[in-house]
């Protein structure tokens, strides 16, 4: 999980990547501030550990987060300047949309944003799939960068209550049903929701308010 360095002066042009994604029915663009709740819920559903960094990216202006959407459904995101200036990440593409150069377009868009800010290099923080960055962006590992900026970071210290966890779990189910275009995920989420007892249904109501529409097997308690 070392950091990697990307030469921003050697970036490929962005436009062809955006057009390629568009030809596949996916729009890649900078997120808008009003989309923050949707994007956070999406990230919470798929990569909950990255929610706080995405939140931080939305605190910047212009918003330091790019999204990929197929119609109304989010399929991916990429942030920059979320943990420190000039850092790229986090980023993610839902499994059902991977391998179609969407991650490439998102990452390239964020890298171009860093270049436009005046940086010569971008740092990819705590890299998972190093081969993706090597292959697509010529990234090189930074020696001695583990754990880097994450050294001593508190974990499992959110102080959130069990009630919050129930609500968050319920919201994940709801967002999965609403926003995820994967039928498998949706049917799994629905099965889970239907199997959940009172606490979960109450959580769904708390998380979704009036937007919650009870369905068969997921009705409010009498």
Question: Which residues of the shown chain bind ligand COA in the complex (CB under 6 A)?
Answer: 89-93, 98-104, 127-129, 131-132, 135-136
Pair 124, 132: CB distance under 8 Å: no
Label residue 189 left, alpha or beta by phi (over 0 means left) and psi (-120 to 50 means alpha).
Answer: alpha
CB of 140 to ligand COA, least distance (A): 15
CB of 128 to ligand COA, least distance (A): 4
Answer positive or negative: Cα dihedral of 148, 105, 32, 60. positive
Of 32 and 136, the one with the shorter C-beta distance to ligand COA is: 136
| DSSP label at residue 156 | S
Of 90 and 176, the one with the shorter C-beta distance to ligand COA is: 90
In the sheet that holds 27-30, the strands lie side by side as 27-30, 65-70, 73-80, 87-93, 121-124, 4-7, 140-141
CB of 222 to ligand COA, least distance (A): 42
Closest C-alpha among 67, 145, 143 to residue 107 = 67
Of 41 and 93, the one with the shorter C-beta distance to ligand COA is: 93
HSE value, Cβ hemisphere, 13 Å, CA-based, for 150: 15
CB of 74 to ligand COA, least distance (A): 12
CB of 88 to ligand COA, least distance (A): 8
Of 135 and 199, the one with the shorter C-beta distance to ligand COA is: 135
Of 103 and 203, the one with the shorter C-beta distance to ligand COA is: 103
């Amino acid at each position: 999980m070392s950091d990697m360095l990307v030469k921003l002066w050697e970036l490929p042009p962005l436009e062809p990547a955006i057009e390629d994604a568009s030809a596949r029915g996916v729009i890649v663009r900078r997120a808008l501030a009003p989309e923050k709740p949707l994007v956070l819920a999406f990230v919470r559903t798929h990569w909950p550990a990255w929610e706080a960094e995405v939140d931080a990216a939305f605190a910047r202006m212009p918003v330091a987060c790019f999204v990929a959407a197929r119609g109304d459904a989010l399929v991916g995101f990429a942030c920059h300047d979320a943990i420190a200036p000039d850092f790229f990440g986090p980023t993610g593409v839902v499994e059902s949309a991977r391998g179609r150069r969407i991650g490439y377009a998102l990452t390239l868009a964020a890298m171009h944003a860093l270049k436009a800010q005046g940086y010569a290099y971008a740092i990819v923080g705590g890299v998972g799939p190093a081969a993706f960055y090597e292959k697509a962006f010529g990234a090189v590992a930074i020696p001695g960068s583990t754990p880097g900026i994450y050294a001593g970071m508190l974990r499992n210290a959110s102080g959130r209550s069990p009630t919050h966890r129930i609500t968050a779990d319920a919201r994940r189910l709801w967002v999965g049903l609403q926003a995820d275009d994967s039928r498998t995920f949706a049917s799994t989420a629905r099965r889970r929701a239907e199997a959940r007892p009172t606490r979960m249904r109450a959580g769904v109501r708390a998380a979704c308010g009036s937007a919650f529409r009870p369905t068969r097997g997921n009705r409010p308690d009498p």
